């Protein structure tokens, strides 16, 4: 196919000047008048609208400091091109050819959008109205909007949503709403169909780890316009989903699990939420000066190439703890929904590392937050979780390591064990210096389990502070993804 062959060409009027305009077979719009003389329909064009004798092409183009040249941070700016075809017949033909080309791209036409007005800096509603909605409307995407009003609201809605009405679900929030949606889809009887619904995320919360991981994978900034453009373009990629199990209780994770230092910083810093994102750095220093170590044991099935880590072991078995989710009704309900990957754990090559530990961190994607590249080697759908373990580490190297988190340099420290695992089991224990106090297990930014003597330990968590296991289902979920 000749990519330079015009599907449509005409002499049109742009800004009062007559100029040739062509739609080429490769989807480029080319003309000779003005600064931006070429647009890629697939990459740049949101949509078009006919108004009287004119056609307006609505697009987003990359600009640096207001002009499309290199240097300075990139950002996307609106660039509408208005032209008048040479005749009424030509006008109709332009509309037809443009519509046919846009339709051939397989873009989403109907989206269900969650907006979390309470997350992060509480500006998701404003971001949606001012930045997200106008772009989706320009792309002529029909949207149904649901503001979340309470915790697990998005999970409840996703659990009963008529998915046949939509081409995707978008979360304008931090990572929490996306996690809720995945858990809601997997609790359905039709979970195997529902979990293939493409999911989009627009960064509007505190963490934004998934949005950062997606956009950074092709070098784009973690910015609302870039995230929305990726959703409009409609490219998709699979995402691994981890099943965390304790007895009959399950939680489906797409980001991370943390125990020890990282979990303590993530959850206990909530008391300083008024400080904004600075709370994490502030509380990290607090924990650094009063460092805790935890007794415990991690068992894992290493990915190929990582078999030398740890000592030979055996399948540690699933916990008999029931968390707070063990009533018989719930067990019966679960038989209809997703129960995790079908895998015979007993016959796998298990290894073990014993504590005490400063931190145990499991990651599914590269970034835990916009400034934390937790797992530099993580892949969206390799079927493995990246395991980062910090054991007895002096304070100075630990401080140095924490300053490397924004670029992933911490994993090169000799005090860090970094490997990939297919399955994982955690047996958490108490603090070494105070056996009456235990720790917090955090998954995807929410408390999974609170041990004795921890922050808000009187609050009920989903699971008990006891043994839990994690398995990975490769590429189970689907994400809208940016692409070059």
Catalytic residues, by residue number, are 175
Pick the closest to residue 294 from 429, 447, 391, 441 (CA basis): 429
CB 10 within 8 A of CB 96: no
State phi, psi for 345 to the nearest 5 degrees.
-70, -30
**Token pair listed for 243:** 């099943």
Q: What's the CA gap between 172 and 124, in Å, rounded? A: 6
297/45 Cα distance (integer angstroms): 53
Please give the C-alpha separations between residue 165 and each of 22, 108, 112, 168, 235, in angstroms, as whole numbers. Answer: 36, 11, 9, 9, 19
CA 119 – CA 209 distance, rounded (Å): 14
HSE (side-chain half, CA atoms, 13 Å) at 218: 11
**CA 184, 185, 187, 188 torsion-angle sign:** positive
Helices (H), 380-472: 395-403
- CB-based burial, 74-113: b 16+ in 10 Å, e otherwise: bebeebebebbbeeeebbeebeeebeebbeeeebbeebbb
157 in helix, strand or coil? helix
Instruction: Yes or no: say if 116 and 208 are a contact pair by the CB < 8 Å rule.
Output: no
> How far is residue 312 from each of residues 87, 122, 344, 353, 427, measured CA to CA in Å?
78, 48, 18, 9, 17
Token pair recorded at residue 367: 């970034």
Q: What angle do CA 462, 244, 201 make, to 5 degrees?
A: 90
Tokens linked to 418? 């970094």
Angle, helix 175-186 to helix 153-160, in steps of 10 degrees:
40
The CA dihedral of 39, 73, 280, 202, to the nearest 10 degrees, is -10
DSSP assignment of 25-70 equals TTSEEEESSSS--EEETTTTEEEEEEETTEEEEEEEEEEETTBSSS
Question: What strands, in cross-sheet order, belong to the sheet with 38-40?
Answer: 6-14, 17-24, 28-31, 38-40
Cis peptide before 356 (omega within 30 of 0): yes
Per-residue tokens: 427:
């047996």
């Amino acid at each position: 196919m000749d990519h330079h062959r015009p599907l449509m060409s005409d002499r049109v009027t742009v800004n009062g000047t007559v100029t040739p305009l062509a739609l080429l077979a490769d989807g480029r719009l080319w003309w000779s008048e003005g600064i931006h003389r070429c647009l890629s329909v697939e990459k740049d064009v949101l949509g078009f609208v006919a108004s009287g004798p004119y056609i307006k092409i609505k697009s987003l183009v990359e600009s640096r400091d207001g002009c499309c040249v290199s240097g300075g941070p990139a950002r996307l700016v609106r660039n509408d091109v208005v032209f008048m075809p040479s005749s009424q017949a030509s006008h109709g033909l332009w509309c037809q050819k443009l519509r046919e080309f846009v339709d051939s791209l397989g873009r989403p036409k109907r989206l269900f959008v969650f907006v979390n007005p309470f997350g992060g800096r509480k500006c998701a509603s404003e971001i949606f109205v001012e930045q997200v909605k106008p772009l989706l409307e320009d792309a002529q995407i029909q949207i149904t909007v649901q503001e979340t009003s309470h915790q697990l609201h998005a999970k409840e809605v996703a659990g009963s949503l008529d998915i046949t009405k939509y081409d995707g679900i978008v979360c304008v929030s931090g990572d929490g709403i996306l996690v809720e949606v995945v858990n809601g889809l997997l609790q359905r009887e039709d979970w195997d169909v529902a979990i293939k619904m493409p999911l989009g995320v627009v960064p509007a919360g505190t963490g934004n780890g998934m949005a950062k991981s997606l956009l950074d994978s092709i070098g784009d900034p973690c910015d609302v316009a870039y995230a929305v453009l990726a959703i409009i373009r409609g490219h998709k990629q699979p995402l691994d989903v981890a099943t965390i199990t304790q007895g009959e209780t399950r939680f489906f994770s797409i980001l991370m699990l943390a125990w020890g230092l990282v979990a303590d910083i993530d959850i206990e810093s909530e008391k300083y939420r008024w400080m904004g994102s600075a709370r994490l750095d502030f509380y990290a220093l607090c924990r650094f000066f009063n460092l805790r170590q935890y007794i415990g044991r991690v068992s894992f099935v290493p990915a190929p190439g990582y078999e030398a880590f740890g000592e030979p072991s055996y399948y540690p078995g699933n916990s008999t703890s029931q968390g707070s989710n063990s009533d018989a009704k719930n067990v019966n309900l679960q038989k209809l929904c997703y129960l995790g990957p079908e895998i015979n754990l007993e016959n796998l090559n298990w290894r073990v590392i014993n504590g005490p530990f400063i931190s145990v961190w499991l990651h599914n994607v590269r970034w835990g937050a916009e400034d934390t590249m937790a797992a530099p080697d993580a892949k969206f759908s390799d079927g493995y979780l990246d395991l980062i373990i910090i054991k007895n580490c002096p304070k100075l190297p630990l401080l140095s390591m924490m300053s490397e988190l924004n670029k992933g340099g911490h994993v090169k420290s000799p005090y860090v064990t970094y490997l990939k695992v297919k399955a994982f089991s955690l047996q958490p224990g108490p603090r070494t210096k105070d056996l009456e106090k235990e720790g917090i297990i955090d998954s995807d930014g929410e408390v999974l389990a609170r041990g004795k003597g921890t922050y808000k330990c009187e609050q009920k968590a989903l699971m008990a502070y006891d043994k839990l296991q994690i398995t990975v289902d490769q590429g189970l979920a689907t994400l809208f993804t940016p692409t070059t």
